[in-house]
Amino acid sequence: MSHNTPCYIIDENSLLKNLKKIQWLRLHSGAKLVLALKCFSTWSVFDLMQEYMDGTTSSSLYEARLGYEEFGKEVHAYSVAFSQQDISELKQFATKVIFNSVSQLKTFYSEIENLEVGLRINPQMSYSDYDLADPARQFSRLGVSDYQSIQEVSELLNGVMFHYNCENKDFENLTQSLDYISDNFGELLNQLEWVSLGGGIYFTLDEYPIEKLAKKLKQFSEKHNIQVYLEPGEAAITGTATLVTTILDIIQNEKNIAIVDSSTEAHLLDLLIYQETADIANVANVKDKGNRKEQEQNKHHYMVAGKTCLAGDVFGEYDFNKPLKIGEQIHFTDAAGYSMVKKNWFNGLKMPSIIIKRLDGQYETVKTFNYHDFKNSLGSVL
């Protein structure tokens, strides 16, 4: 099916596959799972997601308010630093307020002591392939690492948060880290009502041993008599969305370069930040298919690039089974997490519309953007 491009398309049936795994994990581990809005905030599918999850967790006032208004259930409000205005608004709808530092906890405790109060702890260990995303990197500002100062305020706390994983697919590593937390923070956990283990655990991948994860979480919870929370972001929405683009031009500069009506900088920013290559859904790559000599004959190699003035605006290089043509559409996969929340107006590019492929197969366009949206984002129009 051809669509007006660029556009993001979210497939609810793919989303449902992840949500059913989340539901299974909740049932068999006793853990509660809240959606990390920093990864995905497209609230047009929240009515489906809220059937399978326990609420939302946020990194800002606006995310927390969105979770309250559009998702409901539990509203976990965390921020690296709250302002007085943030707290004044948050206390009207948050169910949990999680502070990043002891100083902020002490400053605002009297205003939110009727809510559930938490503190983020930096366990000084983590799992991340990228220093940029490593919450336990040197000089990290994310969480409290001084155990003595944590103990001094422990009577003010209902719970704590450890967020130390980034795209962790390694169950054995996760097991070791949970044992580390249990060994080093067990005395504290035994005094509390809940602990959030954060997000970054890729348990919805097909090969992930989710049964072992459920057992481990249940053991951890029972050992410390504590309610465990997970904060899936990517795990909840991985494999559910595509960014659909159209080839506008094909040029040649030592390589064939196909230019599409989109941009990594504006529409898939994480590719640029982490220097990754986008995956393409609707084109047959010749790799590992058929006779090798036939492969070589059928290879048509292209760099696929965006239309902004940024020289490095490149989605990746690919081998296609046939020559590309101007007007063809290319679908980039996994475009939901950390993409839709980061989209921007760089170069004044047309913002992708948002389309939901509902459970019944019908396509619903829930948001379109135009010139006035671009203009209004940079100033008021009277």
CB atoms within 10 A of CB 121: 23
Distance CA 363, CA 382 (A): 35
Q: Give the domains, in start order, of the chain with CATH numbers.
A: 12-237 (3.20.20.10), 240-351 (2.40.37.10)
Tell me what pLDDT residue 298 has. Answer: 57
Structure tokens at 300: 């048509």
Q: What letter represents residue 229's amino acid? A: Y
Tell me what pLDDT residue 277 has. Answer: 95
Is there a contact between 20 and 215 (Cβ–Cβ < 8 Å)?
A: no
Tell me what pLDDT residue 180 has. Answer: 97
pTM here is 0.94
Tell me what pLDDT residue 300 has. Answer: 93
Distance CA 187, CA 154 (A): 11
Distance CA 117, CA 145 (A): 18
Give pLDDT < 50 ranges for the chain.
284-295
**Model confidence pLDDT, tens digit, residues 240-262:** 999 999 999 999 999 999 999 99
Q: At what angle do helices 12-29 and 210-224 cross, to 10 degrees?
A: 40
Is there a contact between 121 and 195 (Cβ–Cβ < 8 Å)?
A: no
